[in-house]
Every structure is written in C-alpha cells, then in structure tokens.
Amino acid sequence: KGDLQLNYYAQSCPNAEEIIKQQVIKLYNKHGNTAVSWVRNLFHDCMVKSCDASLLLETVNGIESEQKSDRSFGMRNFKYVKTIKDALEQECPRTVSCADIVSLSARDGIVLLGGPRIEMKTGRKDSKRSYLSEVENTIPNHNDSMELVLSRFQSIGIDTQGIVALLGAHSVGRVHCVNLVHRLYPTVDPTLDPDYAEYLKGRCPTPDPDPEAVLYSRNDRETPMILDNMYYKNLLKHKGLLVIDQQLTSDPTTSPFVEKMAADNGYFHDQFARAVLLLSENNPLTGDEGEGNKIIYETEAKGLNPGLIVLLVVLGLLLIFLVGNYVLYLYAQKTLPPRKKKPVSKKKMKRERLKQGVSAPGE
C-alpha cells in the first residue's frame, strides 16, 4: 500500500532488517515476554490512524501519549524499542523509521513465538503527533460486543476469518485480573467452564485486584508462549479468558472459523499471517506525509532533559564571565597609563655599585 515496498532499506541501510531481527532475538533470550509486546505494539499502533509509531510518542507540550489510554493498560517494554533503535543508529544514523521497527519487530517476534514467517514491506514514515482521543474509538475493548469488534477491524479492511485469526494472538501472553474479575465475581459467568473458573479464582482471589500488582492468568496454560491453535481448542472447551474470546464461539459469523482453526494449526497460521500483513499496511504514512525518521527518545519527542538545561545554563554563564573578564583585561592594557616605576633609593644604588665593583665619584 502507498509507497511501501519489500527491502525498502536495501540501499540506505542494507543490514536494517537483520539488525532488528538479531536485537529481537537477543531481547527474547533475555526477556521472553518482549516478543508478545512487539505483537501487541503492532495492533495498538496500526489500529489508531496508521502504522506510524504514534504509540511510541511520550506526553510532551500538553499532548498526551496514546500510552495513557485505559486501552493501553498492561503494555510494557517500550524501553526495549530504544535498544533496537540504538543498534540501528550505530549502523545507519537517522535512516530507519520507528514505524518500520514496530512492524518488523512484531514480524520477528511472531517467529520466535512459533508463528509463521511474514514477508513485510517497509518504508513507513513516523507520525509527528499522538492521537490519544482516537484510541477508544478504534481499539476494541475486551468486553465489547462481537458486532463492534468486527466493525472496527472491517473498517481497516480485515475480513471475518482474518479477525478470528488475529484474536488468536491471545494464544500467548497473559491477562491481568482487573480484566477478568467481572467474569468471576459476584457470580461466575455461566459461559465459563466451572473447573476453569475455580482455577481463575485462585489466580484472582478478590473482586477488586490492585491494578499495580502483578496478578494475572496466562491466556493459554498448555502452551503459554507458543502462538498456536490451542487458543481455539480452549474456546471450544469454554476456557476463554476474556468476554470477547468466548463470544467468538457463540457468534454465528465467527464460530465456524473457530472450529476450523481449532482443527487445523496450519490454516490458523495462514490466516494469521494474512491478517497481520493487512494490519501492518493500514494507512501508512509515506513520502512527505510523516517524518522520515524520528529518534523517539531524543529532544524532539520528549523535550530537553531539565538537568541538561541547568548544566547548559551554568556553562553558558561561566563562559560569559570568563570572556567578559578577558575583554576587560585587554581593554585595561590598552587604555590605562603605564604604571610609574618607584624611584630607587640612594642606599640601594650604592649597594648595587659596590656589588659590581664600581664607585661613584667621591666615594
């Protein structure tokens, strides 16, 4: 779409995609959950306006970050996007857009999670601003109706089976108790398997969990870090964690695809790859529409560091003081009359002559 193309950086930064891949692997080996974060980043970035890295912008000059939205609850690992960016900057300064980093890190993260390899085009530009007000109008909530969820995805060109496949991303990662307890308290949701509900109560023992506490349940207990069709098998057993998950089996437009994906992992992977590709190409900024490259952690994204400002001011004042004093010294040297030498006393002159063996007449 637009001016996106395969191997966009072939000339400007030939190793760009390999650098991203190696960084994603390194981060995965240190922090396995980063791979899940990259997939979620793609969804949250591309659903809001465009795949333009607006998600990564922090609050600045009164414009609130999209990360402030309730829809972004539980998102993390943004600091590791900077790690990937740093590696690229060393090789090709100010060349690879953050929007492409979001998409390519998701692609490589999916492979590490056992999902399909997706050939993605690149060439996205970065947004100059964030769109917090748009987030709730575009990102579906976990307890929205299936009709609303379908319409949100369909508005960016993803069909029903693609939507069912995309929700299969819930095969990995975890859900915080804050988003679960309404299905457990005061009474258990009748669509939940009773034994599974008891397990979830063990994970989330109170109806009002602390949002700051790490209280959660894995999306899939059997293969929690593998992107596979176990998610759909669990749905058919009434073991869907979120309301939206379980609705996939009860809605007549989506349930046939749930059954098909539960029966065939290859079919799920094919549909997932197709849907992720469509998502990654949603309305990209290309050409002159966005910024060619944004270093998301420098001054243009979040303003000058206050400590740096103080240091610069102090150094500036010191420099002015030193230069001013030097100018005054030069001026004084040129304009002030030379100091008169103090007359030498007769006694001192006599001593000097005696030292040299010379005497004045009459001595």
Res 70 pLDDT > 90: no
Which residue shows structure tokens 């469509």? 278
Tell me which residue has tokens 């601003």. Answer: 129
pLDDT tens readout for residues 123-158: 999 999 999 999 989 999 888 999 999 999 999 999
Beta-strand ranges (E) seen in the chain are 174-176, 216-218
Residue with the bigger pLDDT between 359 and 271: it is 271
Check the annotation: does 212 bind a ligand.
no
For residue range 218-231, what is the model confidence (pLDDT) as tens digits? 988 899 999 999 99
Nearest in space to 166 (alpha carbons), one of 261, 96, 86: 261
Query: Cα–Cα distance between 306 and 248 in angstroms, integer?
Result: 50
Residue 140 among known ligand-binding residues: yes
Q: Is 170 annotated as a binding residue?
A: yes
Q: Is 103 known as a binding-site position?
A: no
Question: Where residue 297 falls among pLDDT bands split at 50, 70, 90?
Answer: very low
Mean pLDDT of the chain: 88
The structure tokens listed for 127 are 């947004």
The average pLDDT across 4-10 equals 96
Instruction: Give 35-46 pLDDT, tens digit per residue.
Output: 999 999 999 999
Collapse the DSSP code of 5 into the 3-class scheme (helix H, G, I; strand E, B; otherwise coil) and give the result.
strand
Q: Which is the catalytic residue, given 44, 176, 182, 269?
A: 44
pLDDT of 80 higher than 90: yes
How confident is the model at residue 300, as a pLDDT? 37
Burial class (CB in 10 A: 0-12, 13-18, 19+), 213: exposed
Q: 223: annotated binding-site residue? A: yes
CB atoms inside a 10 Å sphere around CB 356: 8
Considering the entire predicted model, what is its pTM? 0.79
Q: Per-residue pLDDT tens for 298-319? A: 333 344 455 666 677 677 787 8
For the structural domain made of 15-173+219-281, what CATH number should be given?
A: 1.10.520.10
182 tagged catalytic: no
Range with lowest mean pLDDT among 134-148, 204-218, 227-241, 325-339: 325-339
| Distances from the Cα of 37 to the Cα of 224, 233, 285, angstroms | 14, 24, 23
Residue 362 pLDDT exceeds 60: no
What would you report as the CA-atom Rg of the chain, rounded to the nearest whole angstrom?
34
pLDDT at 25 over 70: yes
pLDDT over 70 (residue 89): yes
Separation between Cα atoms, residue 341 and residue 200, nearest integer Å: 98
Checking if the pLDDT of 296 tops 60, the result is: no
12 marked among binding-site residues: no
Domain chopping of the chain, boundaries? 15-173+219-281, 305-332
| 85 phi, psi to nearest 5 deg | -60, -40
Give the mean pLDDT of 13-33: 97
- The 10s digit of each residue's pLDDT in 234-274 is 999 999 999 999 999 999 999 999 999 999 999 999 999 99
The rounded percent of the chain whose pLDDT value lies above 70 is 85
pLDDT for 87 beyond 70: yes
Residue keyed to tokens 């109706």 = 145
Q: What is the pLDDT of residue 323?
A: 75
241 within 8 A of 128, measured Cβ to Cβ? no
